[in-house]
Amino acid sequence: MHVSAILAALAATGPAGLTSTLDKEPLQHLTVPEPLANLGIQRARTASGPFSVPGMVANDTSDDNGMATFQRPALMPCVDCYITGFSFDVRYGDGPNGSAGAIANVDTGIYLHHGVLVNLNRSDTTCDKLGGGSIQRMFGAGNERGYIDLTSNGTRRAGYYVAPDETVLLIAEIMSMQAGAARDVYVTTTWDYVQAPSSSNMTKTDAPAAAAAAAAAAAERWAPAVPVWLDIDGDCGTYLNGSEVAVPPGDAVFSYSSPQPWHPQSGTGGAAKNYSVLVSASHLHDGALQLDIAKNGATVCEGVATYGGTPEYVSQVPGPDMPGMPGMSMGPVPLTHISAIHKCYDVGPTSSSDAWSITAHYNFTAHPGLETTNGLAKPIMGIALLFLAEE
Task: Identify which of 147, 165, 174, 181 has the alpha carbon closest to the alpha carbon of residue 49.
Answer: 174
Q: Provide the CA 128 distance to its chain's centre, in angstroms.
A: 20
pLDDT, residue 5, reads: 61
Strand partners, 261: none
Torsion of CA 340, 341, 342, 346, to 10 degrees: -110
Residue 34 phi/psi, 5-degree rounding, is -60, -45
187 and 88 in contact (C-beta within 8 Å)? yes
Residue 130 phi/psi, 5-degree rounding, is 50, -140
pLDDT, residue 208, reads: 46
Per-residue pLDDT of the chain (391 residues; tens, 9 = 90+): 556 666 665 555 555 544 433 344 568 899 999 999 999 999 999 999 899 999 999 888 888 888 999 999 998 999 999 999 999 999 998 655 555 589 999 999 999 999 999 999 999 999 987 666 789 999 999 999 999 999 999 999 999 999 999 999 999 999 999 989 999 999 999 999 999 986 544 433 334 455 555 555 444 678 999 999 999 999 898 888 889 999 999 899 999 999 999 999 755 554 557 899 999 999 999 999 999 999 999 999 999 999 999 999 999 876 555 566 666 666 678 999 999 999 999 999 999 999 999 999 999 999 999 998 888 899 999 999 999 998 8
Alpha helices in 143-224 (DSSP H): 210-219
113 and 90 in contact (C-beta within 8 Å)? no
What is the helix (H) or strand (E) element at residue 29, kind and residue range? strand 28-30
Torsion of CA 10, 11, 12, 15, to 10 degrees: 50
pLDDT, residue 206, reads: 37
**3-class SS at 193?**
strand
pLDDT, residue 333, reads: 86
Q: How far apart are the C-alpha atoms of 287 and 360, rounded to whole Å?
A: 11
pLDDT, residue 327, reads: 65
Burial class (CB in 10 A: 0-12, 13-18, 19+), 205: exposed
Burial class (CB in 10 A: 0-12, 13-18, 19+), 258: buried
pLDDT, residue 198, reads: 67
pLDDT, residue 239, reads: 85
pLDDT, residue 162, reads: 96
Strand partners, 195: 81
